[in-house]
Amino acid sequence: MKLNAMVIACVLLAVTGACNRTQTRQNPHATFEQLSERGRELCRDGHYVEGLSLLQAAADSLETMHPDSINPEGAVRLLGNIGNLYQRMGMFEEAKAANSRAMAIAEAKVPERLQDLWRMRGMTYEITNQPDSQLVCLHRAVEACSLVENEKWRRNDLRHNRTFLAVFYLEHPEYAPDSIASARRTLERINPDFSVSRLLIGYAYVLEGNYRKGIPMMEDAVKIFRTDNDRESLEWSLQYLARAYAKAGDRKLIDIYPEAAALHDSIKEELRSNLLLGMDFKYRTSQLKRETAVLQAELRTRQQRIILISVIGLLIVAGLVAFLIMRSRNHKQKQQLTQQNIDTLLAERIALNSKIEELNRRLAETNSDIKLFEALPAILLEKDDETRFRKSFNDLHPGFIDNLRKKYPDLTSGNELLCMLIALRRRNEEIALALGISRDSVATSRYRLRTRFNLPKDVDLNDFIQSML
C-alpha cells in the first residue's frame, strides 16, 4: 500500500506549525471574509458540500474584487483549502484548478507559500497514480523553500519537503540508484526521533534486509500512533508494519492483520463517502446552473411578453415583429437547453464511471499484499437515461435517426447510440464511460459499424456520420 500523503501532511504540519504562521490582514471586502469563515465552519462540522459551496463562492468573488482590496495570503489559503477539499472528495481536476489559481497569486504576492502549493499538487498526482508528475512537484517544493525569508520557517519547510521527497523514493526506488539508503539517511538527518520518521527509517532498514534493526523501530512508532487517537495514521502505520512482517516472514503478521483489516475497511468506507460527496457536489452544482439558466430564460421571456403587450397596443406590426423575435429566441433557448440536457446527462454518467475507475485503481493499489476489497462495477446506461438521451438528441438533430434507419435498417439499438455519440463529437474514452463499457468494446463496436456501413478504408467513420447531420 502506498503511504497516504494527506495523512503524513496532517501529522507533519501539526508538528511544524507551517499552516498557522501566516497573519491575516484586514480585508475591506466583507463578503469574501464572511463566505470564507462560514464555509470553513461548515466543513469543520462535517457539512462538506454546503461548506465547499460557500468557499467556492468566496473564491468566485475574487474575480469581481479590486486587486488592491484582496488579501493575497487569505486568498491563497482559501484556494488551498478548496483544493484540499476537492482532493479528498475525488474531484482531482477541480483540485488542480484551485491549486493553479493559488499559485498564480502566490507567485505575484506571497512566494513563500509556493512550497506548500507545490507539495499539495504533488499529493494530487500521488493519489491519481502519476509518479513522474509527483516527483517534479516535490522537487519544485524543495526548491521553493529558498523563497521563504524567515530562516526558522525556511529550515522547517525544507525538512518538511525533504521528508516527502524521501518518502517518494522509499515508495519508488526505481527512480534513483541507492534511493532506499539515501532516503533513510535523509530521514535520519531531519528528525530521527519523530514517530513518522522513525516508522519510515525502520521500513527503510527492512527494505535493506536489516529486519532485526528495522522492525523494532517500526513497532515503537506504531505504539506512539496508538496513543495519538488518529485512525488514519494508525492504519497506514499498521499497513507498513504488516509489509515489514511479511518481508521478514514474521508470524506477528497474523496478530495485527484483524486490526489492520478493520481499520482499512472503515477508512475505505469513508473514502467511498467522500467520493459520493464529490459526485453529489458536482450534481448539485450542475443542477443549480441548470435552474439558474431556466430562471434567467423565464425572466427574459416575461420581460419580452411585457414589451410585446405594450407594443401591440401602439403598433400591430411592431408587435408581430417582437413576437417573431421572441419565438426565435425561445427556439434558440430550447436548442441550448436541449444541448445542456445532453451534455449534463453524459457528463454525469462519464463522471460517475470515471470516479468508479479511479476508485478501483486507487483501491487496487492500496495494499499489494492483502486483498481487502472487490472492484466496483461500472454503471451501465439505464433505460430511462437512454430514453431521455434519445429524445433530447432527436430534438437537437431531428430526422437523423430516421434517415439512418432508412439507409441502414439492420442497425441495432447499440449501433444507433454509438452513431449519436459520434455525431456529438464524443471521444472514444467518453463513449466508453458514458455507456459503461470498456475502451476495447468501443473500438470493436466502431469496427462493426464501419462494416455495416460498408465504408472504404480511406473514409473516416466520424466524418461519414457528421455528413449525415
Percentage with pLDDT > 90 across the chain: 27
pLDDT band per the 50, 70, 90 thresholds, residue 354? confident
Mean pLDDT of 250-254: 83
- Identify which has the larger pLDDT, 264 or 219: 219
Mean pLDDT of 29-48: 72
For the ranges 13-22, 143-152, 306-315, 356-365, the lowest mean pLDDT is seen at 13-22
pLDDT band per the 50, 70, 90 thresholds, residue 377? low
Tens digits of residue pLDDT in 261-274: 777 666 656 555 55
Residue 426's SS3 state is coil
* Interatomic CA distance for residues 212 and 191, integer angstroms: 21
The whole-number pLDDT of residue 137 equals 95
Considering only the C-alpha atoms of the chain, give the largest distance between any 2 of them, rounded to a whole number of Å.
98
Would the pLDDT of 12 be above 80? no
**pTM exceeds 0.85:** no
Mean pLDDT of 203-207: 91
Mean pLDDT of 351-359: 75
Residue 337 near residue 294 (C-beta atoms within 8 A): yes
Q: Which residue type occupies 129?
A: N
Domain boundaries, the chain: 1-25+71-190, 278-366, 383-466
- Identify which has the larger pLDDT, 91 or 192: 91
| CATH hierarchy code of domain 383-466 | 1.10.10
Please give the DSSP secondary-structure letter assigned to residue 24. Answer: P
CA distances from 159 to 190, 201, 400 (A): 6, 15, 63
Residue 396's SS3 state is helix
**Cβ-based burial of 211 (10 A; exposed 0-12, middle 13-18, buried ≥19):** middle
* Interatomic CA distance for residues 181 and 200, integer angstroms: 12
Average pLDDT, the chain: 79
The top-scoring range by mean pLDDT among 166-175, 286-295, 411-420 is: 411-420
Residue 59 near residue 9 (C-beta atoms within 8 A): no
Q: Write down the architecture of domain 1-25+71-190 according to CATH.
A: Alpha Horseshoe (1.25)
* Interatomic CA distance for residues 469 and 464, integer angstroms: 10
Residue 285's SS3 state is helix
